[in-house]
Amino acid sequence: MRVIGIIGLGEAGSLYARGAVEAGYEVRGFDPAPTPTPEGVQRAASLADLVAASDLVIVLTGAALSARIAADAAPHLRAGAVYADFTTASPDVMVDVAALVEKAGARFADVAILGPVPTKGAATETIVSGTAAGDVAEVLRRFGADVEVIEGPAGAATSRKLLRSVLMKSLAAIVIEALEAGRAAGCEPWVRAQIAAQLSGDAEAKMDRYETGSRKHAVRRAHEMESVVDYLGSLGVASEMSDASRRVLERLGEQRA
């Protein structure tokens, strides 16, 4: 692949465009918004022009636009071209997009980005699946990325990312809640030390302990989390994550009853 076209020149799109230029590709970009054009990128006048000129089309827009962009792009794809959706659309949407792309005679890659792109740019870790997974993985490795290829259809990579997000987004939210509580109680350094201790050590042993301990002591821990919610309320701290933990423990307790 010689020409890479990038749809969406926002923060992530611009960084991937820069990575593609640095890797030696001819790079074209399209964005209907008045976003800056990264250095070394030729800006296309329309989505159709970009798609028709590209060997690899990379979509880096909001997930809500994924299906619409694929429908607009499909008629202009070159035979044998590769279309890679890097958005956070659902697995079902990825399956639909793949069908549109492959019906047009192109190949598809479902690409899940696993970290904050501003930190590593185009070298951010990814998971890739779909008929063109190997080709896109090769390109991403030239960007310096660590790529895991999933043997599976479109939607497989995105589903893995969403499974990971169960932990990552929830973990971030509970850390925020704990820190806010620590500040309100006047002991943030102590709370930070507690969080750090839990995030280090034997991860496998901790996972087993979290699961087995929560199931075994669900009723008692649910009452404890009820007290936590009351305490955070007295501190004026929102307790969505703690209250959700209480409800999960109550459910686990009912399952054991």
Q: Which of 103, 31, 36 is nearest to 62 (CA)?
A: 31
Q: Of 120, 161, 206, 216, which residue is the catalytic one?
A: 161
Q: Where are the alpha helices (DSSP H) in 104-237?
A: 117-120, 133-142, 156-185, 188-198, 203-216, 218-235
How does strand 126-129 pair with strand 107-113? antiparallel
DSSP one-letter code for 152: S
| Burial of residue 191 (number of CB atoms within 10 Å: 0-12, 13-18, 19+) | middle
Cα distance between residue 77 and residue 101, in whole Å: 8
SS3 string, 95-135, reads HHHHHHHHHCCCEEEEEEECCCHHHHHHHCCEEEECCCHHH
Calpha distance 161→129 (Å, rounded): 12
Active site residue 161: yes
Residues contacting residue 162 through CB under 8 Å, at least 6 positions apart: 90, 91
Q: Residues with catalytic annotation?
A: 161
